[in-house]
Amino acid sequence: KDGEIVQTGTTYEVYHNCKNMFVANFIGMPPTNFTEVAITVEDGKYNLINPDFKIILNNKIAHRLKDYNNRKMIIGIRPENIMVADEKDAIMSVKCLLVEPQGSHQVIIFKINDKIAKLVISGETKIKSEDTFFINFKQEKILFFDYESHEEI
């Protein structure tokens, strides 16, 4: 970033253990999706709150966020870690803006918080422009970043 090396390691290490948002955005295609969330605790459960969704985190993930209660943070989710879901399992519904066929897979473009986001799904999945469908995130794959420093939590 700006001519400085910000992280070293194998491709696997850098991809799966990003030290900051710059690296998370730089490594991977399509790039990581980012959105702001607030952290709340209700009935002992940690929640990620966004105007478009609410995610109740499992305990394995929540312990990392204990110092962030009632604070803002940024989460990142790679396009391949967003799943098309049934309504009962979904965190939100989205409208497909564009489909980019890639052969074995396709990139679906939609919005989260009025920002363009992308997900990658099988080329056999039937979603077309203007379709509305439900999504969920693989919780164990959500990347957490400090709101101010953009460093990984």
Q: Which domain CATH number covers 108?
A: 2.40.50.140
Q: What is the reported pTM?
A: 0.90
Q: Write out pLDDT tens, residues 26-64.
A: 998 999 999 999 999 999 899 999 999 999 999 888 888
Asked if residue 153 belongs to a domain, the reply is no
Asked if residue 42 belongs to a domain, the reply is yes
- In eight-state DSSP terms, residue 32 is P
Q: Which residues, 6+ apart, have CB-to-CB distance to 148 below 8 Å?
A: none
Asked if residue 2 belongs to a domain, the reply is no
Asked if residue 151 belongs to a domain, the reply is no
Q: Write out pLDDT tens, residues 58-116.
A: 988 888 888 888 899 999 999 999 999 999 999 999 999 999 999 999 999 999 989 99
Q: Rounded distance, CA 144 to CA 94, Å?
A: 22
Number of domains present in the structure of the chain: 1
Residue 2 burial (CB count, 10 A): 5
Q: Which residues, 6+ apart, have CB-to-CB distance to 38 below 8 Å?
A: 48, 49, 50, 70, 71, 72, 73
Asked if residue 16 belongs to a domain, the reply is yes
3-state secondary structure of 107: strand
119 alpha carbon, distance to own chain's centre: 9
Q: Which domain holds residue 28?
A: 11-146
**Cβ–Cβ < 8 Å for 130, 96:** yes
**Cβ–Cβ < 8 Å for 84, 144:** no
Asked if residue 15 belongs to a domain, the reply is yes
